[in-house]
Structure 1
Amino acid sequence: MTEIRGILLAAGAGQRFGGHKLLHPLPSGELVGVAAAHNLVTALPNTLAIVRPDDVRLAERFEALGLSVLENALVEQGMGRSLAIGIGASADAAGWVVALADMPWIAPETIRSVVQALVQGAAIAAPAFQGRRGHPVGFGRQWGDRLQALQGDHGARHLLQAHANELILLPTEDPGVLLDIDQQGDLKGGGATAD
């Protein structure tokens, strides 16, 4: 068993955005997906990213940051498939922190708090801003088989709902845990509220 691993889900189509949102610049000039990857790898150097097979530019950017990159050749099977690929490739991990590449405003300190909760024995941990669960979500090693069996577009949402009593919420002052980018207008307004 090794340390906690980071998994960045970056294989979505970005259809509501109307283009490749992860390569779109934020007002700061940093690219959406690169900003999310940078924050995750800053907190968790041992991180891998799951991308679409044709997404060479994004893969190169992630590799330049030090992430290991895997392709999801079955992207039509949704986010669950990407997560399953990441878990399968890091099955010896002590746990996983799962982040979304369209959430570029999560502070590394917030991610570290999720890692710390897992290290201290939490089964599932996530930050909460003003009482609302946000991202990233940490899963202990005991969830590996169930995460690796995921398919569909809901990722691990059903696991979180079914095992809400095992979820430890970590209060944070970081609003980035709730903000994702779905449409172009979200770039200016600080993001939309993530599901």
Structure 2
Amino acid sequence: MTRAPGFCGVILSAGASSRMGRDKALLPWPADLVHPTTWRQTFLGAAIDMLRPHTDLVIVVAGANERAITPIIYAAGAFLVTNPNPERGQFSSLQIGLQEVLNRGRDAAMVALVDRPPVQPKTVEALRAAFIAAPDNIWSVVPQFEGKHGHPYVIGREMIEAFLRAPADATARDVEHAHEDHIFYQPVNDPGVCSNIDTPADYQQLSITGPAH
């Protein structure tokens, strides 16, 4: 018997982007430093577009960058929630986003980080389908490419509650390791799930190689 959960997208976008030197949510996408005047959207806009077809609604967790990213969020038809203390770290933003998922009456979330280029649509479809078809003892579906785990990942009510019960100084990895028996690692042919853009050099390399789609 398959599940019929209500899905929310959750995008964590409250970080300071200190290593990048500019807000990663506002980085142009596709990355193109050769033709910078070509019309592009942002990493945040692309993340919303990635999740929106596969979820009932998309929630973006902002921090000190709230004013800067609010127009992108609303223009894309997403919803805003603000982490009042983003200096507490990414896990605090995750907890705020997941609490909003429950507040809005949904019981599953697809979690993405704003500092990752969007993955292939077929990857998001595969993760969603794997979660719906999974037995009840599977609380999360995580993409796996060449042995590496990545994002976005899907979590159900049980894992959401486990994240919310965890202390504020925990990490998502701590919680996942504590419940590893309830995680299914979905193989995907998409290197984008492991991509991570932290520095200007990372972004420049992305502009050279282009999206792995």
> Runs of at least 4 residues of structure 1 off by over 6 A?
none
Counterpart secondary structure, 1:89? helix
TM-score by length of 2: 0.81
Verify: 1:14 aligned to 2:17, yes or no: yes
Cα distance, 1:39 vs. partner?
1.1
Q: Which amino acid is 1:174 matched to? A: D
Task: Report the equivalent of 1:109.
Answer: 122
Q: Which amino acid is 1:135 matched to? A: H
Task: Report the equivalent of 2:35.
Answer: none
Task: Report the equivalent of 2:43.
Answer: 32
Q: Which amino acid is 1:161 matched to? A: H
Counterpart CA distance in 1 for 2:17 and 2:202 is 13
Give me the identity figure in percent: 26
Distance 1:187 1:135, change over 3 A: same
Cα distance, 1:5 vs. partner?
1.3
Matches within 5 A, 1:10-89: 10-26=13-29, 27-28=31-32, 29-89=40-100
Matched residues, number: 190
Tell me, which stretches of 5 or more residues in structure 2 are unaligned?
A: 33-39, 208-213
Cα distance, 1:158 vs. partner?
0.8
8 A Cα contact 2:6 2:56, kept in partner: no
Counterpart secondary structure, 1:189? helix
Q: Specify the structure having the higher radius of gyration (Cα).
A: 2
Task: Report the equivalent of 2:111.
Answer: 98
Counterpart CA distance in 2 for 1:146 and 1:104 is 28
RMSD over aligned CA atoms reads 2.1
Task: Report the equivalent of 1:144.
Answer: 160
Counterpart secondary structure, 2:50? helix
TM-score by length of 1: 0.88
8 A Cα contact 2:10 2:59, kept in partner: yes
Counterpart CA distance in 2 for 1:76 and 1:47 is 23
8 A Cα contact 1:115 1:138, kept in partner: yes
Question: Cα deviation per residue 1:107-151 (whole Å; 9 max; x = unaligned)?
Answer: 222122222222223311111111211111211111232222442
Tell me, which stretches of 5 or more residues in structure 1 are unaligned?
A: none
Cα distance, 1:2 vs. partner?
5.8
